[in-house]
Amino acid sequence: MVPSRRPLSVHACHCLLRRVRLAPWTPPLWQRVLPLLIVLVLLAGTGRAAWSRTDTDSAAAAPAPVPVALDIAALQVPSYWLRPHARVLREPPGATALDPMTLLHRSDLPWQPVQDTDPVFNFGTDRAAWWVHVPLAHRGDSPTTLWLEVTEPLIDFVDIWLIERGSARTLTELHSGDRRPFGTRPIEHRHPLLPLTLAPGQAADLLVRVSTVDGEHDPLPLRLWEPAAFEAHARSEALLYGAYYGALTVLLLYNALLALGTRERAFAWYTLFLGSFLVWNLTYRGFALQYLWPNAPTWNQIALVGFSALIYATMAAFAWSLLELPRRSPWAFRAQALLAAAALGHAVWIAVDPTAATFATLDTVGLAMFAALIAGALHVAWQGERLAWWYLAALGSLFTGAGIYYLTKLEVITPGPLSLQALNLGSVGEFLLLALALAHRINRLKTERDDAQRALIAALRDSEHRLEQQVNERTRELAEANAQLTALAERDALTGLYNRRRFDAQLPQELARAQRSGRPLGLLVLDIDHFKDVNDLAGHTQGDVTLARLGRLIEHTLQ
């Protein structure tokens, strides 16, 4: 039976739909993409181990003879990779007391040749130490000094000896690595550097021993430089890294100020993400051990793992705030929260035991986190959220840069100025795209706020207009009622004529007017004679009617 690629419940629903002849169900985009992301994570994890077996798999072959000596006087390029002229040896168990002199003179050791021309040694995951032997010779006319660069700042322990052939005299040696204080290096540089000087006709054996505490060997690139060429290369590299870290610092400070000014949680998480990435990158590139904590190699290991864990955790928290994953995609939020907790657990682990092999599991957690971030962003994008596409573009920029960089370190891609800086370029692209996503979100929130404010103002104005109309109408009603009450209070109920109250109120006004105008004021006192006869003959009711008609007649006549 062919297994279904859908969940069981989804498969059952699909069969039911087909049985009732309805249109087949199409799974959402995130359900179709998530299995692919999981497969890619597994392939990436197995691919890392596969690439790291380049040199360790040759240990079963026959012992290799001593390679032909490399004539340093015949080099026609400013720098030269040593791997094509080397042989390698896995240190036998219990060989801790084996010294370089004994190593060169023993014929029973299983030295193995390098079977390709790639410049980088890869010893993979192995707790044993590895030795590299490169015979050197000088067939020129004048002494030559070249600088040997170990182009990898994260090797735990690297020990180098240059031993004169014939006399077995140690010409120079170096004991370095990122688990040793920076002051042990003869040349102050983030990569271990050792000057090698040979006189005309002199031959020597270059021995390099690398070992690791946690059993995870970093790639070992060995490169000879002309001193002037290396200094020019170092200046160019310092300029590039200075511009990169300067831009990153400016972006960090800008977003920190925005976080303080806007109180927006997404800016705060983005600032923490930038800060974690900045410190991790400084540690990963060797600048932190050189400038920040040169005498604290143990803290260097803790920072490398701890800030890697913080990168994963803050990147997830930023996605939760930017894309509102707890509301829009609860399953992605829960998965990312578990992975963030696992990453932070590695930070605690390395703090308790700085020799722990944390990267073996932290790399897997990181790959799973990236897959969960992509799946969650795709789910949100499927819901019509445009910010998710900005976020996916930012992750794509970082993945592309990181992929090119690590493929360059594994020599799948030919090293070049752009490929060697691909991780930095990809991260810059990610940071800028995330900043644009934040700006888009802030603009959208501002637009929504302005729209809500305008709607509120319009509603308030409409409410004020209705209230004003109601007040005016009520005022008019009250005025009319007051006028009616005043009229009722100032007129006699029987005759309808003004009463004594109106007379008392009106007389002072008329006197004042007469005084101002200088005109005389007349006062009529009317008396109705024999009115009692009317009441007696016609009754009081008819008498009241007579009084009312007489009052209206007098009022009309006087007007």
**Which whole number is the average pLDDT over 26-42?**
46
Place of tokens 């006549």: 557
More confidently predicted of 55 and 174 = 174
One domain for residues 264 and 392: yes
One domain for residues 389 and 365: yes
Beta bridge partner(s), residue 206? 134, 162
pLDDT of 417: 59
Q: Which of 132-141, 283-292, 349-358, 423-432 has the lowest mean pLDDT?
A: 423-432
Q: Is residue 485 part of a domain?
A: no
Residue 43: Cβ within 10 Å count: 12
One domain for residues 217 and 253: no
Q: Compute the distance between CA of residue 366 and CA of residue 374 in angstroms, rounded to an integer.
A: 12
Q: Is residue 153 part of a domain?
A: yes
Which amino acid appears at position 161 of this protein? W
Q: Is residue 78 part of a domain?
A: yes
pLDDT of 88: 93
Where among 178, 198, 225 does a domain terminate? 225
**Which whole number is the average pLDDT over 147-156?**
92
Of the ranges 105-114, 355-364, 469-478, 522-531, the best mean pLDDT one? 469-478
Question: What digits encode the pLDDT tens for the residues 94-148?
Answer: 666 578 888 888 888 889 988 766 777 888 778 888 999 999 999 988 999 999 9
pLDDT of 97: 58
Q: Is residue 528 part of a domain?
A: no
pLDDT of 549: 82
pLDDT of 461: 86
Question: What digits encode the pLDDT tens for the residues 197-222?
Answer: 999 999 999 999 999 888 888 888 89
Q: Which of 254-268, 331-345, 533-547 has the lowest mean pLDDT?
A: 533-547
One domain for residues 311 and 254: yes
Query: Which range marks the domain in which residue 383 is found?
Result: 236-451
pLDDT of 24: 38
Where among 225, 253, 282 does a domain terminate? 225
- Judged by DSSP in three states, 556 sits in helix
Q: Which residues contact 161 (CB under 8 A, 6 or more apart)?
A: 100, 170, 172, 173, 206, 207
One domain for residues 171 and 313: no
pLDDT of 283: 96
One domain for residues 373 and 422: yes
pLDDT of 107: 81
Q: How far apart are the first and last CA of the chain?
A: 115
- CA angle at residue 487 from 483 to 490, to 5 degrees? 135
Q: Is residue 544 part of a domain?
A: no
- Does residue 159 carry a pLDDT above 90? yes
**Which whole number is the average pLDDT over 231-238?**
94
- Judged by DSSP in three states, 54 sits in coil
Q: Is residue 369 part of a domain?
A: yes
183: domain CATH number?
2.60.40.2380
- Output the CA–CA distances (angstroms, integers) from residue 123 to 15, 58, 147, in the order listed: 51, 10, 24
pLDDT of 9: 35
Question: What digits encode the pLDDT tens for the residues 282-341?
Answer: 999 999 999 999 999 999 999 999 999 999 999 999 889 888 889 889 999 999 999 999
One domain for residues 72 and 133: yes
pLDDT of 62: 58
**Overall domain count for the chain:** 2
- Does residue 54 carry a pLDDT above 90? no
pLDDT of 311: 93
pLDDT of 63: 65
pLDDT of 418: 66
pLDDT of 3: 36
Q: Is residue 517 part of a domain?
A: no
Where among 200, 225, 250 does a domain terminate? 225
User: Which run of H or E residues covers position 419?
Assistant: helix 417-420
pLDDT of 276: 95
One domain for residues 212 and 324: no
**Which whole number is the average pLDDT over 141-163?**
93
- Does residue 44 carry a pLDDT above 50? no
The mean of the pLDDT values for the chain is 81
Q: Is residue 535 part of a domain?
A: no
**Which whole number is the average pLDDT over 507-518?**
82
Q: Compute the distance between CA of residue 346 and CA of residue 352 in angstroms, rounded to an integer.
A: 10
317: domain CATH number?
1.20.1070
pLDDT of 206: 96
One domain for residues 249 and 199: no
One domain for residues 290 and 215: no
One domain for residues 162 and 206: yes
**Which whole number is the average pLDDT over 168-184?**
92
pLDDT band per the 50, 70, 90 thresholds, residue 55: low
One domain for residues 407 and 353: yes
Q: What percent of the chain has pLDDT over 90?
A: 34
pLDDT of 415: 60
